Structure 1
């Protein structure tokens, strides 16, 4: 994995986990460590700085010793509210041009995510690069120019839309395809995420095969 200059990273942990009994999905454990720990350890080497986007009591994430970014728009506006908080935070960091967001319930995302998304926008830095796999877009795994902050806030507050793909497409989203990872005869979509108890059991099995 390679570190990318001018890119900050934010883990989005604001999703509701109703199918897992509530609480914070990223704090569930796979191999003795939380999913959030696996995500942080995978993202940290790829970016200049790191923070967590989440609402509620920040003390529950105190063990990670990272800046906490609550939503800056009222109501539960979905993942784009977390993206906006991420962009606002990153925009105040010297030399930061873009912010990479990832989901806190997706512990196997690619170790070269930042590198490949940055390469896709090297000639068009005003566009959003977003990860895909198996023909499916993963819109929270994206590289967002910090210059989009005001437009994103208008999109959320004036248009009343929280559709991530709509905003990405408005700004000429560039899809970047990632291949499955194969190990021990098992094929893994690197963007496999945990939504149900069965997903959690599968993630624990995959963690034994693919490691951190």
Structure 2
């Protein structure tokens, strides 16, 4: 399988942070988005940012900015679709998505997703971590997605589908299980308290 392209999902509304772009919040000497780019870029063949509104606010990152093509904020799947359409234009077969507010995700995210996808005609894999109560927790903004299913996803979104796992389960998506050490690798910044915790972890 060819190396996937990477798409950072930054199209959320950040309501619990008071609105604005969570990815532009400071964490240490850099912003959250800097940390995500640094972690994802070595793992993929190219990188883009899914975000809505004026793309000029992301100009310093020098990345393509992909707005949702589905109106009325359709959630992360709309960002996935924007990434798949961009990847199709690049001649790519797959993308890997990562959230802009999750600075500590695994440095081997892409290799493990690709390993889990071996043998799949349409490689569709979500990240997951073990959980004592529920067995495992899926992290639907961190996944491997096939360009071949983009029109199916577009139709599902236009029909009102919003839940990632409903769509991935319908296409026999797999899960790549990542260990949790002292820090949950998919810890994400939703609130000011989370940002303070991320500073401590950094």
Q: Which TM bucket (shorter chain)?
A: over 0.9
Shift in Å, 1:199: 0.5
Question: Counterpart in 2 of 1:131?
Answer: 127
Residue 96 (structure 2) aligns with? 100
In the other structure, the counterpart of 1:20 is: 17
1:206 aligns with 201
Q: Using the TM superposition, give the Cα deviation of residue 21 of structure 1 relative to its aligned residue in structure 2, in angstroms.
A: 1.5
CA contact (8 A) 1:127 1:171 kept: no
Please, which of 4, 7, 24 is the counterpart of residue 7 of structure 1? Answer: 4
Q: How many residues align?
A: 197
Query: Is the Cα contact below 8 Å between 1:193 and 1:199 reproduced in 2?
Result: yes
Instruction: Tell me by how many angstroms 1:52 deviates.
Output: 0.1
What is the TM-score when the length of structure 2 is the normalising length?
0.95
Unpaired runs of 5+ residues, structure 1, are: 182-186, 208-212
- Which residue of structure 2 lines up, in the alignment, with residue 122 of structure 1? 118
The equivalent residue for 2:162 is 162
Match of 1:195 among 175, 190, 193: 190
Q: TM-score, normalised by structure 1?
A: 0.90
Aligned partners of 2:15, 2:160: CA distance in 1, in Å? 24
Deviation for aligned residue 1:127: 3.6
Q: CA deviation at 1:74?
A: 1.5
Instruction: Trace 1:44-193 onto structure 2 (pairs within 5 A).
Output: 44-94=41-91, 96-134=92-130, 135-157=136-158, 159-181=159-181, 187-193=182-188
Q: Deviations over 1:147-173 (max 9, x none)?
A: 01100000001x211111101101111
Consecutive unaligned residues of structure 2, counting only runs of 5 or more, are 131-135
- Give the match for residue 133 of structure 2: none
1:11 is paired with a residue of what secondary structure? strand
Q: Which runs of 4+ in 1 moved over 6 A?
A: none
Q: CA RMSD in A?
A: 1.1
**What is the SS of the residue equivalent to 2:145?**
strand
